[in-house]
Structure 1
Amino acid sequence: MSQNVKQVPKRFLRPGEHYVTNDPIVLSTLLGSCVAVCLYDPVERVLGMNHFLLPMRNPAGGALALASDAGRYGLWAMELLINGLLNHGARRQNLRAKAFGGGNVLNIPHSAQAPRLQIGAANAQFVRHFLHEDQIPLVAEDLGGDRGRQIFFDGADFSVYLRRIPARQDQQIVVAERAYLHHTLKVQRRPAPAEFF
């Protein structure tokens, strides 16, 4: 006897992406130094997730406040996610957050020009501060450490399943994040386009 099992739609997010929906979908991603925020309105049944690598753009070097076009950076990624939920019918006072990632897996050595970049720790600090300032309750988190994570955000009940990446697979995340970081910093060094009013 065959059973007709309904497949739940799934969406995988890469660094710099975000996704918002009213559907009971499963959103997933792989995280090393990156952070993903799972944001939802349990009353209006709207949910979304982002995935960012750097807290914000670094205008002059120095501090690790490194932010971008679209969702590469935490500041924009959070604004895109919140606005996306509000545009889908969520109410700001109902929003709840769960945050994951921020592992210090990118051990970038320091130089005379820049201190050691602890991107994971900076991301974790940024997201806690942002949610506190925006008065969005952080109801669950798994931030920091030195291991990668895979998360699955279930839109049916807003639960998050977390799987720690075995050490032997961490290198895959590190390679992908280093390439993404290199590309992001290269783009960041380009002169900003002129603005017209």
Structure 2
Amino acid sequence: MSSAPRRPGYEAVLFDKDGTLVLDVPYCADPRLVQVMPTAPAALAMVRAAGIPIGIVSNQSGIGRGLISPDAAAAVFDEVERLLGPFDTVRYCPHAPEDGCRCRKPRPGMLLDAAEELGVAPERMAVVGDIGADVDAALAIGAAAVLVPTAVTRPEEIRRAPVVRPDLVSAVEYLLHGAADPVRAAG
């Protein structure tokens, strides 16, 4: 009998950064402003304990808009990893919304790149985020999507999401263990 942890059906879990893993500080260029969401450390520990690769997928339009430098964005991502531990992949879109790139969520390019890097079929991944663009990007490639709403999440995004959980630990519990009730209002 093996003592290895049981791996659920997902082969990777990708997390949005701002508003999901850390508090959303618009166009954050200062690592000292990074504040971890309360349930992020426990949620990430659960996924790591299950032996599942994790990643970050994040829109960073401040770079494309000239509001933050690529080096400043990289320093913020480094701080996130310092606070939350290593990630198996970190992807971010540096483009402004009007650039029409393939990577900016809700487009799925960033997720597809992460899947390729991790060697995982897109439909074997799960994506956890706080807004509709996160959910839409996941659904566009057949990945599972879990919405963890915040104050900026619009009511219609909550209604459209296939799975809604009130915090990251609940989202990860759903992904690891399933639930009889796939949608629960975050309240």
* Alignment TM-score, normalising by the size of structure 1: 0.32
Higher helix fraction (1 or 2): 2
Structure with the greater alpha carbon radius of gyration: 1
For normalisation by structure 2, the TM-score amounts to: 0.33
Q: Which has the higher strand share?
A: 1
